[in-house]
Structure 1
């Protein structure tokens, strides 16, 4: 997903820079809004999974406190490592979606300029 989003962001920026007609810009806007919707869905799913792993980690830490044993400690360690990677990925998704909003604002600005130039 990281590579997909990074590639898409480069692609949409290049397409936006090369855009010279309002009709082309409408296509870019439509495509970009679809991608934003997909990424918002992806972001909420990863948020829910991250929260689930956080709750599971908390439960197993509580179990470890009351019944210390090696298998539970290993399980806590595995869940903690997974949670760290989920948080890292969620952070990337969140920041990228916010960048997508800025690109959306850039598209709107370019649409305004086209309308002003048409007058």
Structure 2
């Protein structure tokens, strides 16, 4: 997903530079893609939160029950949680950049955007 999102953003930026582009059609396409990326981001948020809860519960179980055999599970969950958080934040930040790209496309189609209201 990281590579796909990165390549998609490069594609949108190239389209924005190309004055011969059909920005109306690009706006429709980008809107559909934004919905897909928002869904992906939401699913990753749910999984990340559940994964973090499992990690916290495992650490609490170790602290309260003093069962040392749970330590490898806690370490495994932490090792997997860190890259998952990193990936989620990549999704979050990239989708926010895509919102700005949406505004730029919208301005090319309709002649105004949110930025003009400031």
Answer whether TM exceeds 0.5 for this pair: yes
Asked if the contact 1:46–1:90 (Cα under 8 Å) also holds between the matched residues in 2, the reply is yes
| Cα distance, 1:111 vs structure 2 | 1.6
Residue 83 of structure 1 deviates from its aligned partner by 1.1
Once the two structures are TM-superposed, the CA of residue 103 in structure 1 deviates from its matched residue by 0.2
Q: What is the CA-CA distance between 1:16 and the residue it aligns to?
A: 1.9
CA contact (8 A) 2:61 2:67 kept: no
2:99 to 93, 98, 101: 101
Gaps of 5+ in 1: 115-119
Name the CA distance, whole Å, in 1 between partners of 2:99 and 2:75: 36
- The C-alpha deviation readout for 1:56-78, integer Å capped at 9, x for no partner, is 11110111002334431110011
Count of residue pairs the alignment pairs up: 112
Deviation per residue, 1:73-107 (Å, 9 max, x gap)? 11001111111111101100000000000000001
With 70-79 and 94-103 compared, the bigger mean Cα shift is at 70-79
RMSD over aligned Cα atoms: 1.6
Runs ≥4 in structure 1, deviation > 6 angstroms?
A: none
The CA deviation string for residues 21-44 of structure 1, in whole angstroms up to 9 with x for no partner, is: 6xx111111111111001000000
TM superposition score normalised by structure 2: 0.88
Q: Which runs of 5+ in 2 are unaligned?
A: 113-118
CA distance in 2, matches of 1:79, 1:31: 38
Aligned to 1:117: none
1:47 and 1:19 map into 2 onto residues whose CA distance is 37
Alpha-carbon offset, residue 110 of structure 1: 1.2
Q: So what's the TM-score if we normalise by structure 1?
A: 0.87
